[in-house]
Amino acid sequence: NAGVTQTPKFRVLKTGQSMTLLCAQDMNHEYMYWYRQDPGMGLRLIHYSVGEGTTAKGEVPDGYNVSRLKKQNFLLGLESAAPSQTSVYFCASSWGTSREAFFGQGTRLTVV
Amino acid sequence: EDQVTQSPEALRLQEGESSSLNCSYTVSGLRGLFWYRQDPGKGPEFLFTLYSAGEEKEKERLKATLTKKESFLHITAPKPEDSATYLCAVQPPDSNYQLIWGAGTKLIIKP
């Protein structure tokens, strides 16, 4: 039972480069989320999706785009990476908004 | 502005030494309060959801309680494998999808 799988696990980007983070879940969850985690701060929601083909902005959406073409996949894109986007990114999925969320292992991204 | 504050930032205990972690919040009428455990290099793992003041949940050596302004995570006779960062999150009444997360308490249990 894989749960939530994120790829890649680590990545170093140069300022201005673009990349896509992939999240896949095998639990048939409707809701999927992208968070970033920075030292000394709580998790912050970047974007979320309440079902296939839908996406919405969270707390810190600027500089990121997302797509959910298939129910099991949620992609996070960085169009032009900036050093301020250096962070650990987590994908999560859940049955509903007040239900437990299952998190992936995270992607550690460094922008130099 | 709604806030979630966890204290202490870090806590070192001897094995078997019981203690409590605190999560205080300024949100009124929350829809739920969540506790997660996070091991180094991994994603958070769900522990409990509390919905109303007076509610308690238990799992092994952990017990979570909720009042109108704070939640406690009580750890009884901890073991080294309980070492982790414990995260608290609150769902505000006007939010269907967004949680407000605390920064976490790093718990270290020494053998």
Q: What is the average per-residue pLDDT within B2-16?
A: 96
Q: Which residue from A90, A97, A103 is facing B97, i.e. has the nearest CB?
A: A97
Confidence band, pLDDT 50/70/90 cuts, at residue A1:
low
Which residue of chain A is at minimal alpha-carbon distance from B48? A100
Cβ within 8 Å, pair A106-B103:
no
Give the up-direction half-sphere exposure of residue B62: CA atoms within 13 A in the CB hemisphere: 20
Tokens of A2: 């894989």
Q: What is the pLDDT of residue B65?
A: 98
pLDDT-above-90 percentage for chain A: 92
Give residue-wise pLDDT tens across range B54-99. 999 999 999 999 998 999 999 999 999 999 999 999 999 888 788 9
Q: What is the pLDDT of residue B27?
A: 85
Give residue-wise pLDDT tens across range A80-107. 999 999 999 999 999 876 679 999 999 9
Number of H helices, E strands in chain B: 0, 11
Which residue of chain B is at minimal alpha-carbon distance from A34? B98
Which residues of A are less than 8 Å from B98 in CB distance?
45, 48, 58-59
Q: What is the pLDDT of residue A98?
A: 63
